[in-house]
Structure 1
Amino acid sequence: MSIIETERLIFTHLTLDDVTDTYLSWLVDPEINSYLESRHQEHTMESLYKYVESINHNCNNYFLKIITKNTHEHIGNIKVCTKSYQVADIGIMIGAKNYWGKGIGAESITTITDWAFTDLDLKKLEAGCYEQNLASLRAFLKTGYVVEGFLQSHVVIDKKRYGCFLLGRVFQERL
C-alpha cells in the first residue's frame, strides 16, 4: 500500500512501531474509548502489540494511521476490513482530542472511502455508530453514507441500553 495524502493528512500502514504510550493512552481514556467496542477490555502495551499484529496479519484488513502533515503527529487510525461480495467495514478513531471537531473524521472517511472504491475495487462500505455518538454519525452522513438501519437497545454504556446506527455507502460510477 502506498501513502495516501490530503491537504492536511497522511495515511499510511500502521505498524508495531506505532504502538506507543500515546496510542495506549487513547484506549485507556474513558472519553476517547466510550464509543469503541474495545472499551470492554483492559489495555496494555502487550495487548496493543498483539491487537495490531493480529489486524495486520489478516490480508483482508487495511489498518492505517492518520498523521498530520504539518506536525507529523499520529492522531488516530482508520481501518477497512474486507468481507465478501466486494463489501467492507470501515471504522475510525481520532485519539488526539485536540483534533476533535476540526473535520478530521470526515476528511479521513472521504479519503479512505474513495481509496477503497478505487484501489481495492470495493462496491460498498459499511459502518456503525452508537446513537449518542453524533459526531461520528455526522461525519459519515457528511461523506455520503446513509443510514440503512437502526438496532434498538443494542449496546450498554454506563449501565444504560442504547441503539446503533448502521450506515452504508455504495460505489457510484463516475460518468
Structure 2
Amino acid sequence: MKAYHGDRVYLKEVTEADITEDVMKWFKDEELMKYYTNSKQAITREKLLNSIEEGKVKGNLFTFGIYSAEEDLLIGTIKLGPIHQVHKTSDLVILIGDRNFLGKGLSVDAIKLGNQLAFEEFDIRKLYGGMYESNIPSIKAYTRAGWLVEGRLKGFYWVENRNEDRILVGCFNPKYFSQNEIDEVASSQDRFYKW
C-alpha cells in the first residue's frame, strides 16, 4: 500500500502490536466515546482485533493508525468501511484518542489523508458519514477536510431524554463527480446546517 503522509500526521494500517493498553484506554474514556459509537457497548481489545481481522478478510473494513509525524506516535485511528463494493461508497470514521493531540487540527489533516487513501487506494466513489448535531468539533473537522453537509435527519438520536438531529456529510471523488455536481451540493448545505 502507498504511504499516506502529511506534514504533521501519517496513516498506516493497524497491527495487533499497535493495540496496546494505552490505546485501549481511549475506548474507556467516556468523553472521547460520547460521539464515537451508537452501540454504547464496551470495546475490548479482543472485539477490536476481531473486527479489524474480519474486515480485512471480508475486504470491506480497514483500520489505519493516525501517527504524529514529529513523535512517530500512534495518536488515533481511521476506520474505512464498511465499503459497499457495488456502489463504491464507504463511511470514514476518525478518532484522535491521545488527548495530548486534541485541539491542534490534526483530525483535519488525518481526514484529508483518509480521503486520499479512500479515493486512490480503494477507488471509493463517495465517502459518507453522520454525526450528532452537538458534535461541532467533528462537523468542523470533516467540512474543513473537504466534506460537505448533505442533509439532516430530524431527531435521529435520543440523547438524555431529548431528540437530537443527525448531520449527514459526504465527500465526493472527483474521478466520479463533476465539479458542477459537487458545487450543487455545496450551494445547498446551509439549508441543513448553520455554522
Query: TM-score, normalized by length of structure 1?
Result: 0.90
Q: Cα 1:31–1:123, aligned 2, differ >3 Å: closer, same or farther? A: same
Q: Cα 1:8–1:157, aligned 2, differ >3 Å: closer, same or farther? A: same
Look up the SS of the partner of 1:40 in the other structure.
coil
Look up the SS of the partner of 2:10 in the other structure.
strand
Q: Cα 1:152–1:167, aligned 2, differ >3 Å: closer, same or farther? A: same
Q: Which runs of 5+ in 1 are unaligned?
A: none
Contact 1:145-1:168 within 8 A present in 2 as well: yes
Query: TM-score, normalized by length of structure 2?
Result: 0.81
1:77-133 Cα shifts (integer Å, max 9, x gaps): 012112132221111111111211111111111112022222322221111111111
- Look up the match of 1:75: 75
1:27-86 Cα shifts (integer Å, max 9, x gaps): 111000000126611233333332333333331222100011121211100121121322
- Look up the match of 1:31: 31
C-alpha displacement of 1:157: 3.2
Q: Distance in 1 between matches of 2:24 and 2:160?
A: 22
Larger deviation: 119-128 or 135-144? 119-128
- Look up the match of 1:134: 136
Q: 1:171 aligns with which of 166, 170, 173?
A: 173
- Look up the match of 1:65: 65
Q: Distance in 2 between matches of 1:132 and 1:112?
A: 23
Q: Cα 1:27–1:158, aligned 2, differ >3 Å: closer, same or farther? A: farther
Q: 2:91 aligns with which of 89, 92, 96?
A: 89
- Look up the match of 1:114: 116
Aligned residues: 175
Q: Cα 1:71–1:57, aligned 2, differ >3 Å: closer, same or farther? A: same
Larger deviation: 160-169 or 34-43? 34-43
- Look up the match of 2:185: none
Identity of aligned residues (%): 27
Q: Distance in 2 between matches of 1:86 and 1:52?
A: 20
Contact 2:119-2:173 within 8 A present in 1 as well: yes
- Look up the match of 1:40: 40
- Look up the match of 2:147: 145
- Look up the match of 1:50: 50
Q: Which runs of 5+ in 2 are unaligned?
A: 180-195
Q: Distance in 2 between matches of 1:38 and 1:154?
A: 11
C-alpha displacement of 1:166: 0.9
State the one-letter code of the partner of 1:17: A
Q: Distance in 1 between matches of 2:121 and 2:53?
A: 23
Q: Cα 1:130–1:93, aligned 2, differ >3 Å: closer, same or farther? A: same
Select the structure of larger CA radius of gyration.
2
State the one-letter code of the partner of 2:35: Y
Look up the SS of the partner of 1:161 in the other structure.
strand
Q: Distance in 1 between matches of 2:29 and 2:56?
A: 24
